[in-house]
Structure 1
Amino acid sequence: MAVPPELIGGALASLSVPAAALLVLARNNLTRPGARGFVVTVAGWTGWSIVVGLRLIVESAALARALNSFAVVFVSVTVLGWAFLVAEHVRGRWIELTWRRLVVWLAIPVGLSVVAFTNPAHSLIWGEATRTAPHGTIDVAHGPAFTVAAVYWFLVSEGAAVWLARDALRAEGASRRQGIALLIGHLVTVPFAYDTFAAFPPAPHVDLSPVGFFLGSVVWGAALFRYGTVELAPILREATLDEMCDAVVALDNDDVVVDVNSAASELFPTDGDPVGRPARRLFAEFEPLDELVIDDRPVENPLSLVVDGDRRHFQVTVSPVTAGGVTRGRLVVIRDVTELIHREKELATAKQVLSRVFRHDIRNDLTVIRGYAELIAERTAGETARMARTISETTDELATTANKARRIERTLERPTEAIDLEVTSLLESSVESVRTCHPDATYDVDLPSELWVRASTDLEAAFRNAVENAVAHNAGPDPTVRIRSRREGERVVVTVADDGPGIPHEELEVLERREEAPLSHASGVGLWLMTAVVECSDGDVAFDTGDDGTTVEFCLPTASGRNRRERKRRPDDPGTDPSDRAEPV
């Protein structure tokens, strides 16, 4: 008993449902490389299957011929979409569709479609011997244009398949799995699409290509859920991930593992492929990590775990992965910072030892040297007394440099509280402190009666260094320093200008590079101190230097207007170093 062609046609058309479902699933991922080609290919499968089914259902021979023309269109759509999918997958990036590229890609398909729809006028696609009757085509006689079309379809489609196969062989991990899944989905359609089974038709020339598209849709659908073919981890460049020392794990919104790199595989060994497993199973042996990762919020936390019997320290970062404003999953990056923490502890220990040496041993030795030098200077005369005074002055300079270095260390490690400070009183106090050691200099001070900033309590030390440097390193007969302050919007600008020789270029370079370099005298340490204090106050400091002098410009945030208080000099004030009370620094 013959099967009615309408029934066969309905069955073939219904096979397009899985492909249509893939279109729905992939529609929110069009920003992913390869997603557009995926959608176009599946759309071609869907249209092709529907046309094949309708050709067996319709009773009009004219309508059946029109459906043949639509079949040419959907074949071209399928081939182009497949080639575009492969191109973006292999390259791993979005391909911009310029007008020139669109013309190149669409020229032949559009031309074939036009020839197909105008076939009754020239018979270039289907020859005159082709017989079309109700419920399908009985005899097919292909014209020369169909041969050209078939060669074009074959070269583009199978050329892309070969390209994808070569890339999958070179790739690893998720990229290889995704490539193989795409390739299998294509290959199962090939024998049906090329009419391999046309010699055994259940009805007059029944096209079985919808069966192949059904199988391909099943394979791609499984890949979509199993490997995230166009979802969270589309076409990951595995080589880049595997070069990372950090362990990287990609999760979807259901906390299922989508991808891992080599470092993660070594850190979390599993039996078999971890992809597709719940995150809780992957992190089962590391409960603290499991709790961090399962939390939906972004995370950046230190974590200590026991790995292979050893205590290791990690920095864990969990970030959302979004596309089109929608969260698609999360990326977990686990960085091993064990060696860094050990190194930091070693440096902290070394710093404590050196600080103790500077505080006690060297400072005490300098005091002894200075005392003996002063005694020699008092009890001798001539060249011997002069050399003794030089020794005494040098020990003073070394002590001052050490004091400044310790203040820089304290400022950087334990920044003092930012409070409201009155700039005019701090500048006047700084000038008077420097004037006691350098009374012969000229101090041109022009300041407003009151000006407030929000800054570190070490700010006066920075001002005092600026004034001291302006005078101490000016060998002119009448050193002059000009101090000004003004308010500009939400900032207060303080300038300290001198007429000295300028700051050596190499010292300014050290500040710009933020690299250690030998500092030839106390001025260099003072520049570091000014910079450290101002930056800890959320401000900026600039140096404009030349042969005619130097201008130091401090730019600081204005005070909020609340809790203003002028800092009082007390022995226990955190902004006052005991060594600073002896002499200006």
Structure 2
Amino acid sequence: MIQLDPLALFRVGIPAVSGGVAGVVGVTAYRRLRQSDARTGLVRPFVVLAGVVSLLGVGYAGVHAATPLKNLPLGSAVLLLAVPWMMFAARYIGLGRYITPGRVLAVTLAVAILVGVNFFGRLIQEGWITTSLVGTEALQTLETAQSVATLVLLTLVFALIGGVVVATYRHDRLSTVQSLLVVIPIAGFIFTVQTTRPATPLLNDVLIGSTFLVVAASLALGIFHYDVVTRVPATRRLGERAALTETDEAIFVLDDQARVVRVNEPAKRMFGGAQTLADVTDHSVTSLTELNTITCRTTAGHRQFEPSVSSLVDEYGETFGYTVMLIDVTNREIRRQRLAVLNRILRHNVRNELDVIRAHAEEAGLAPAIDGADRLSALSAEARRVQDLMERSAADRTEVRLRPFLEDVVADATAGVNADVTVTAPDVKINVDPERYRYAIDHLIENAVEHNDEESPRVVVRVERTGADVRLVVADDGPGIPESERAVIEGGGETPFEHASSLGLWGTNWAVQSMGGSLSFDESDLGGTAVEVVLRDVAVSDV
């Protein structure tokens, strides 16, 4: 019969209510899993953990309500909670790859045996079983084995507790409180087991009831407020691991003597069992920091790499090692060399041959051949101009006064052409590469005028300033840029069936992108096309 006194609240009421709360938390987590609103690897052990806490709370209350026992051991509670909690904690901090079915089964069987031994020992203490049935020596051996196994299990638990606290603390976007909520379900019972004593039943009842209350509250806060089954520090650990083990680039970790300490799989595959940096390249760590590309002998032959070196420095500023990443740029370098050769041919050989063809065409009076040679010569000149622009440094910036700059570009682009061009721009100074900016605007205006059949094409050049962004729009009343050409530029590539009709639009796009901007197309209020050039984070100052 239940005793209606204040202690009944701690013996029966609080454990029962706490068990009910834990059950609700477990059901809620399971529903989130069914709705694909949480991580499977985290929810499953969390649901088991909440279920065990629920059974412990209800079971503890039920035993106290139905029996006159004054003290019930909670050592088995820690053991029962250990397996699901360790599974959850390991996945929480990014060690889920160590949780295999075989290991879980082995630990579960070990825990089941420890719980059985605990229960057997409790029966002996209560006088239900006499020691004569097993023998004193056998009982001592069993207790020793139990103590060792429990110590090993608790060592793993405490290691994971430390891992949870440290991983959460190191994560920039997670509260340290979240780590406390994760460790309380196991740490709370460990603390209570170590502080309860058979001779102090009043204190035991208060501690145990409070433990159930705190554990249930931590589970509820963890699932309802801090979302411990979704927002976890494992992302950081797994991201760091992926950077080393799952990248396609070769990575070496070296000590201060340039000896290989660790390599990732691509490095092992490309360089075999390299023991020192000398087995990989003839260059030293210092010289690697000064080189753009190096040639290394790999299992696939000689390849070209771009080296990246980072020093490993301790808190005293002393270097104790390096990480060396070798980025395979063989194909990139081949393309670069190929483009350089083609550019030389375009600049010199083709131009010289076109001059010869044009001269013979003039002598023969072949007008179509002359026109064709002129178009090819203009295309060659345009290609050389684009190449020169792309070879400019990203630091080639200067401050220009926007409105006079635009008026000057418009005047050059419309020289000798009957066109109505309006310029609207704030009187400010902007920091840009004037050559690339001029090329882009000049081509857009020329394109708007040349492809317009009106006697006096209308073009509006409008610039707006939004914070550190400068938005330029060139709108016309012409037929507009064909959708096929716009799609090619916006898609970023050409095919045999979809391609731009000239190099200028590509050059404009490259010039804008090289300045950190973007190019887009829309319909113009004038009836044609509106091309928008947005330069972001540009230094803008008033005149």
TM-score after normalising by structure 2: 0.54
Give the match for residue 454 of structure 1: 431
Alignment of 1:190-201 (within 5 A): 191-195=113-117, 199-201=133-135
Alpha-carbon distance in structure 1 between the residues aligned to 2:324 and 2:440 = 41
**Is the contact made by 2:520 and 2:531 (CA closer than 8 Å) also made in structure 1?**
yes
Give the match for residue 467 of structure 1: 445
Give the match for residue 58 of structure 1: none
Pick closer, same or farther for the CA change 1:433–1:315 going to 2, 3 Å: same
Give the match for residue 95 of structure 1: 43
Query: Do structure 1's residue 442 and structure 2's residue 419 form an aligned pair?
Result: yes
How many angstroms does 1:530 deviate by?
A: 1.8
How many angstroms does 1:515 deviate by?
A: 1.2
Residues 438-464 of structure 1: CA deviation (Å, up to 9, x unaligned): 53x223334569543211132222221
Alpha-carbon distance in structure 1 between the residues aligned to 2:60 and 2:326 = 59
**Is the contact made by 2:271 and 2:299 (CA closer than 8 Å) also made in structure 1?**
no
How many angstroms does 1:354 deviate by?
A: 0.4
Query: Do structure 1's residue 108 and structure 2's residue 55 form an aligned pair?
Result: yes
- 2:431 maps to a residue whose letter is R
How many angstroms does 1:392 deviate by?
A: 3.0
Within the candidate set 333, 337, 342, 1:354 is matched to 342
Pick closer, same or farther for the CA change 1:102–1:259 going to 2, 3 Å: farther
Alpha-carbon distance in structure 1 between the residues aligned to 2:498 and 2:63 = 87
Query: Do structure 1's residue 393 and structure 2's residue 371 form an aligned pair?
Result: yes
Alignment of 1:502-541 (within 5 A): 502-517=480-495, 524-541=502-519
Alignment of 1:208-219 (within 5 A): 208=142, 211-218=145-152
Residues 226-275 of structure 1: CA deviation (Å, up to 9, x unaligned): 9x998989998999998765567999xxxxx999865566679889xxxx
**Is the contact made by 2:402 and 2:426 (CA closer than 8 Å) also made in structure 1?**
no
Pick closer, same or farther for the CA change 1:183–1:507 going to 2, 3 Å: same
- 2:482 maps to a residue whose letter is P
Within the candidate set 368, 372, 381, 2:356 is matched to 368
Give the match for residue 555 of structure 1: 534
**Is the contact made by 1:471 and 1:481 (CA closer than 8 Å) also made in structure 2?**
yes
Pick closer, same or farther for the CA change 1:396–1:497 going to 2, 3 Å: farther
Alpha-carbon distance in structure 2 between the residues aligned to 1:368 and 1:520 = 33
Give the match for residue 67 of structure 2: 120
SS at match of 2:331: helix
Alpha-carbon distance in structure 2 between the residues aligned to 1:456 and 1:450 = 18
How many angstroms does 1:532 deviate by?
A: 1.9
Alpha-carbon distance in structure 2 between the residues aligned to 1:261 and 1:481 = 58
SS at match of 2:42: coil
Give the match for residue 458 of structure 2: 480
Pick closer, same or farther for the CA change 1:491–1:153 going to 2, 3 Å: closer
How many residue pairs get matched?
Answer: 399
Residues 362-399 of structure 1: CA deviation (Å, up to 9, x unaligned): 1222233334444444xxxxxxxxxx444433333332
Percent identity, aligned pairs only, is 23
SS at match of 1:194: helix
Alpha-carbon distance in structure 1 between the residues aligned to 2:282 and 2:102 = 36
Give the match for residue 219 of structure 2: none
How many angstroms does 1:523 deviate by?
A: 6.1
Alignment of 1:225-236 (within 5 A): none
Pick closer, same or farther for the CA change 1:188–1:262 going to 2, 3 Å: farther
SS at match of 1:444: strand
Give the match for residue 424 of structure 1: 403
- 1:368 maps to a residue whose letter is V
Alpha-carbon distance in structure 2 between the residues aligned to 1:153 and 1:539 = 60
How many angstroms does 1:213 deviate by?
A: 4.5
TM-score after normalising by structure 1: 0.51
How many angstroms does 1:474 deviate by?
A: 1.3
**Is the contact made by 1:471 and 1:479 (CA closer than 8 Å) also made in structure 2?**
yes
**Is the contact made by 1:248 and 1:334 (CA closer than 8 Å) also made in structure 2?**
yes
Give the match for residue 61 of structure 1: none
- 2:520 maps to a residue whose letter is A
Alpha-carbon distance in structure 2 between the residues aligned to 1:93 and 1:359 = 61
Alpha-carbon distance in structure 2 between the residues aligned to 1:544 and 1:102 = 57
SS at match of 2:414: helix
Which runs of 5 or more structure 2 residues have no equivalent in the other structure? 1-10, 34-38, 89-94, 122-130, 168-232, 255-259, 287-291, 313-321
Give the match for residue 331 of structure 2: 343
SS at match of 2:478: coil
Pick closer, same or farther for the CA change 1:119–1:223 going to 2, 3 Å: closer
Pick closer, same or farther for the CA change 1:552–1:179 going to 2, 3 Å: same
Alpha-carbon distance in structure 1 between the residues aligned to 2:99 and 2:163 = 9
**Is the contact made by 1:415 and 1:456 (CA closer than 8 Å) also made in structure 2?**
no
SS at match of 2:43: coil
**Is the contact made by 2:512 and 2:533 (CA closer than 8 Å) also made in structure 1?**
yes
Give the match for residue 412 of structure 1: 390
Alpha-carbon distance in structure 1 between the residues aligned to 2:49 and 2:379 = 70
Give the match for residue 225 of structure 2: none
**Is the contact made by 1:185 and 1:220 (CA closer than 8 Å) also made in structure 2?**
no
Alpha-carbon distance in structure 2 between the residues aligned to 1:470 and 1:348 = 33
- 1:337 maps to a residue whose letter is I
Pick closer, same or farther for the CA change 1:303–1:536 going to 2, 3 Å: same
Pick closer, same or farther for the CA change 1:191–1:270 going to 2, 3 Å: farther
SS at match of 2:374: helix
Pick closer, same or farther for the CA change 1:480–1:186 going to 2, 3 Å: closer
- 1:430 maps to a residue whose letter is V
SS at match of 2:449: helix
**Is the contact made by 2:285 and 2:309 (CA closer than 8 Å) also made in structure 1?**
no
Q: Which one has the largest radius of gyration?
A: 1
**Is the contact made by 2:83 and 2:108 (CA closer than 8 Å) also made in structure 1?**
no
SS at match of 1:454: strand
- 1:502 maps to a residue whose letter is G
Give the match for residue 574 of structure 1: none
**Is the contact made by 1:510 and 1:516 (CA closer than 8 Å) also made in structure 2?**
yes
Pick closer, same or farther for the CA change 1:371–1:260 going to 2, 3 Å: closer
**Is the contact made by 1:408 and 1:528 (CA closer than 8 Å) also made in structure 2?**
no
SS at match of 1:445: strand
Pick which of 493-502 and 179-188 moved more.
Answer: 179-188
How many angstroms does 1:504 deviate by?
A: 0.8
